[in-house]
């Protein structure tokens, strides 16, 4: 693994997301993207992205995600930002992967956003410059969300900021969440959208959901949690449907849903204890699980000590 000099490296914690509402609509735009209404929130389950100056652009992921070049979102993010701001992307990027991939948790999008933010630090780029968002958008639909990081509504292809719920959903901060994922089951995002095209399912009424999220009443908002791409994921894999049904039957669950294109599902719980108990029981049922909490921000810079302590990374 390429090892950036930790004395000069910048480290970011890159959090995962869940979709609280996802409505996918028929049709594709000129880039092949479906129109969506997406309400996302970040959770405290993080990769660590480290960036250091180097003779040329290099990338390493540990453990491997099977792509360390142009097919990796961090690589694409570095190239896109460098082109827009006219600098040479001579940096070594390393990613400590903790967020499972093909899981609907947006790990690769968050890694890309963290890469962009670290390069902005090195290159003294104003992070509010619209070209920073442009670079994010060019890498993937969910990358712009991570530059904001607060619970928010995105439309277009899911990459156009529409509305923040940071104020109305302030009570979501630190709220308990449990994630579960059938072992060895992943869903490719393009495959999920292709399966949607074959047999589109209608999105839940969005106007009602939007009103509930705006109301500031979390109990009202949770009743509107919905994801029509999750239905597609359940169709593609019976294990996802089974794990979601299992989750729905657990004590302390306020609302549960497949996130994004799957394969993870999540539940907002009535206590951290309930979330931890569900995670333990899921583990006993051979499901991957993680109890954690909602956060109100995207990737955040962390100190060298936190990022790299004798090879162990402090996460979540
Ligand atoms: C489904 C969602 C929900 O948040 O997330 P994940 O499940 O991947 O986490 C997103 O729409 C995924 O966003 P992201 O993972 O960034 O997708 P991208 O890499 O940009 O796109 C991968 C492919 O998915 C399809 N795609 C993506 C977004 C969209 N609005 N319509 C699409 O049809 C396209 O085929 C595209 O080529
Ligand atoms: N930085 C990255 N981390 C993880 N996967 C990546 C990365 N860059 C590209 N990929 C590719 O993207 C695919 C899924 O990305 P991911 O964001 O984890 O999907 P999802 O959000 O649906 O879980 C992986 O199978 C992998 O091949």
242-261 tens-digit pLDDT: 999 999 999 999 999 999 99
pTM of the model: 0.95
CA distance 284 to 267: 18
Every domain range in the chain assigned CATH 3.30.230.10: 10-166
- For residue 314, what pLDDT is reported? 34
Report which ligand 1 atom has the smallest distance to the Cα of 156: 30
Tell me if 16 CB under 6 Å of ligand 1.
Answer: no
Is 17 noted as a catalytic residue in this protein?
yes
CATH architecture, range 10-166? 2-Layer Sandwich (3.30)
Here the tokens at position 265 are 């599902």
Instruction: Kindly give, in sequence order, each residue whose CB lies less than 8 Å from that of residue 57, ignoring residues fewer than 6 positions away.
Output: 75, 78, 79, 89, 90, 91, 92, 93
| pLDDT band for position 315 (cuts 50, 70, 90) | very low
Q: Of 196, 176, 180, which Cα lies nearest the Cα of 188?
A: 196
- 88-143 pLDDT tens trace: 999 999 999 999 999 999 999 999 999 999 999 999 999 999 999 999 999 999 99
- For the four alpha carbons of 172, 247, 252 and 203, in that order, the dihedral sign comes to positive
Distance of CA 204 from the midpoint of ligand 2 (Å) = 27
Query: What value does the mean pLDDT of the chain take?
Result: 94
Distance of CA 101 from the midpoint of ligand 2 (Å) = 5
Q: Of 163, 106, 116, 117, which Cα lies nearest the Cα of 138?
A: 116
Beta bridge partners of 227: 22
Report which ligand 2 atom has the smallest distance to the Cα of 106: 21
Every domain range in the chain assigned CATH 3.30.70.890: 170-294
Nearest residue CA, atom 32 of ligand 1?
Answer: 33
Tell me if 261 CB under 6 Å of ligand 1.
Answer: yes
CA distance 95 to 315: 13
Q: Which fold has domain 170-294?
A: Alpha-Beta Plaits (3.30.70)
Tell me if 110 CB under 6 Å of ligand 2.
Answer: no
- The answer to which of 92-96, 171-175, 312-316 has the lowest mean pLDDT is 312-316
Complex ipTM: 0.97
Here the tokens at position 108 are 């690769």
């Amino acid at each position: 693994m390429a090892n950036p000099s930790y004395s000069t490296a910048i480290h970011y914690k890159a959090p995962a997301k869940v979709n609280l509402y996802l409505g996918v609509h028929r049709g594709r735009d000129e880039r092949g993207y479906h129109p969506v209404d997406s309400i996302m929130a970040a959770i405290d389950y993080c990769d660590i992205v480290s960036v250091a100056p180097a003779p040329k652009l290099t990338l390493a992921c540990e453990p491997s995600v099977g792509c360390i070049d142009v097919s990796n979102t961090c690589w694409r993010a570095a190239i896109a930002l460098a082109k827009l701001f006219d600098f040479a992307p001579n940096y070594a990027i390393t990613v400590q992967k903790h967020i499972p991939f093909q899981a609907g948790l947006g790990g690769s999008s968050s890694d890309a956003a963290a890469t962009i933010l670290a390069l902005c630090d090195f290159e003294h780029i104003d992070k509010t410059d619209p070209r920073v968002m442009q670079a994010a958008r060019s890498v993937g639909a969910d990358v712009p969300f991570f530059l904001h990081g607060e619970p928010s509504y995105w439309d277009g292809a899911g990459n156009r900021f529409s509305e923040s719920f940071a104020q109305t959903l302030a009570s979501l901060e630190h709220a308990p969440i449990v994630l579960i994922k059938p072992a060895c089951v992943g869903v490719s995002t393009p495959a999920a959208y292709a399966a949607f095209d074959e047999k589109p399912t209608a999105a839940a009424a969005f106007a009602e959901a939007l009103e509930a999220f705006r109301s500031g009443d979390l109990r009202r908002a949770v009743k509107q949690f919905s994801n029509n791409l999750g239905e597609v994921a359940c169709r593609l894999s019976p294990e996802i449907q089974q794990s979601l049904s299992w989750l729905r039957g657990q004590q302390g669950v306020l609302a549960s849903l497949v996130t994004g294109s799957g394969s993870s599902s999540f539940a907002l719980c009535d206590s951290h204890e309930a979330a931890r108990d569900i995670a333990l029981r899921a583990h006993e049922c051979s499901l991957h699980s993680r109890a954690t909490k909602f956060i109100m921000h995207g990737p955040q810079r962390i100190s060298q000590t936190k990022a790299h302590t004798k090879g162990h990374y402090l996460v979540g």
